Amino acid sequence: MVKFKRVQDWGIAVLGLYAALSPLFFFYSGGAGFSVVVAIAIIICAIIALAMPNSKPIQWILIAASALLFIVPWISGITGWSAWNLRIVSIIMIFLSTKTIKTIE
């Protein structure tokens, strides 16, 4: 597989960037720091996944980090639309990662 060509990983990187920047656009009732750290970790993993397209462990790390982003609102006390924003983004990232794992041989 060619490096930096998989659309799913680019989508995950963009959604991770969106999740990292979302405290600028949404009011977070709780601490937004943990969600930003998790989102930055997702961006870094997505870039690594783009550079190493045949690595299943990286995709599993992306799934775990996306699942962590899903529960961050409960951990940080984020409520309202901001919490659902993170959850929806994380569900899309989990879907994209699992779709990628199926294509890796």
Q: Which tens digits make up the pLDDT trace of 69-98?
A: 999 888 888 777 878 888 999 999 999 888
- The pLDDT of residue 29 is above 80: no
In a domain, 1, yes or no: no
How many domains is the chain built from? 1
- CA 79, distance to chain mean position in Å, is 19
Q: CB-based contacts of 30: which residues, under 8 Å, 6+ apart? A: 73, 76, 77, 78, 79
What residues make up the domain containing 56?
7-103
pTM for the model: 0.89
In a domain, 2, yes or no: no
